[in-house]
Amino acid sequence: MRPRFFIAEALRSIRANAAISTAATVTVLIAVFILGAFIPSFLYVQSTVDAQKEKVDINVFISDSATVQQVNGLSSNLTGLQEQGLVREFTFVSKDDALADLRQRLRDPSILEELPSNPLPASFNVLPADPEQSEQIVAEVEDHPAVDEELGVRFAADTADRLLTAARIIQWAGLALIGILLIASVLLIGNTIRLSIFARRREVEVMKLVGATNWFIRWPFVIEGVLCGIAGAALAVVLLLVIKLAVVDAWIADADSALTRNDAATIGFVWLAVLLVAAGAVVGALGSGITLRRFLRV
């Protein structure tokens, strides 16, 4: 194959069909722009939810009457669960720790001085490996004799549930949307290229009649699609960069620390740009490659 010839043919055809090439490029520009705005937003929400998931913990309250052996037994049960991979980590919180913790959180700790004795129970604070398995961990430990009968084992079942559902919905909806966007842009660019090929079907027919193979005809079209795809994606990236610098970065700088401090890792702009331009190229190649198939049966 002679790439120089095919590239020259593609450029000739872009020049000869400037209007349609522009339409294809603008199509990719719009699709990639939406994709480029959506991916970081999706990742931001996703990682925020993930960060919340990390904080789902289980408190196993220990009865004041439990013996040291019973507490040790519970502790080794938890170690067992850790070895099974259910528990990520757990820490023992003594009665004194609990009181110190409470003292820190109260605006006016002096009221604690009034207490005749420490009413707070000791506990194990357990972080599940996977928050979805919290119920299972609870079931494993709640009947242990060291566990306080009244307080038992607690975790924010409701919050956790809602959080997990939200996480799942965001994940699937996000992936579905990205998929739909990609398919839509393949179809859109395919449609635009179909116009171009339809206008040139006689040309394709003649090429076949003088002995061109299908790939000989297809390469320039595919390269044309790739060039339009890359051009459209590159323009979208420039547009996204302008918006990022002018709007989003300024907004983040203005927002209060709760927002900026977040550990939400989104995606680096360079990687996003590379990803989008690659997506533009693939979409362009697929769009023209698939569309051309119908016209090659001469």
Residue 216 binds other proteins (CB under 8 A)? yes
> What residues have CB less than 8 Å from 280, skipping those under 6 apart?
28, 32, 229, 230, 231, 232, 233, 234, 236
Interface with other proteins (CB under 8 A), residue from 169, 206, 238, 246: 206
Q: Are 3 and 168 in contact (CB under 8 A)?
A: no
Stretch of 22-30, 43-51, 116-124, 211-219 contacting other proteins, by CB under 8 A: 211-219
- The residue range among 62-70, 204-212, 230-238, 247-255 that interacts with other proteins, by the rule CB under 8 A, is 204-212
Stretch that binds other proteins, among 145-153, 162-170, 201-209, 230-238 (CB under 8 A): 201-209
- Binding-site size, other proteins (CB under 8 A): 18
Residue 108, amino acid: D
Looking at the Cβ atoms of 116 and 211, the one nearer to other proteins is: 211
* Residue from 105, 114, 211, 263 in contact with other proteins (CB under 8 A): 211
Tell me the H-state helices in the chain.
3-16, 18-54, 68-84, 95-105, 110-113, 134-141, 157-199, 201-209, 214-243, 249-254, 257-260, 269-292
Q: Does 37 bind other proteins (CB under 8 A)?
A: no
Query: 32 near 276, Cβ under 8 Å?
Result: yes
213 binds other proteins (CB under 8 A): yes
Stretch that binds other proteins, among 28-36, 93-101, 130-138, 207-215 (CB under 8 A): 207-215
Shortest Å distance, C-beta 194 to other proteins: 19
Of 5-34, binders to other proteins (CB under 8 A) are 5, 12, 16
For the residues of 29-57, what is the DSSP string, one character each?
HHHHHHHHHHHHHHHHHHHHHHHHHHT--
Long-range contacts of 239-247 (CB under 8 A, 24+ apart): 239/29, 239/33, 240/33, 240/36, 240/37, 240/272, 240/273, 240/276, 241/269, 241/273, 243/37, 244/269
User: Is position 202 an interface residue for other proteins (rule: CB under 8 A)?
Assistant: yes
Note whether 223 binds other proteins by CB under 8 A.
no
Rank residues 4 and 105 by Cβ distance to other proteins and give the closer one.
4
Report the interface residues with other proteins, using CB under 8 A.
Answer: 2, 5, 12, 16, 202-203, 205-214, 216, 298
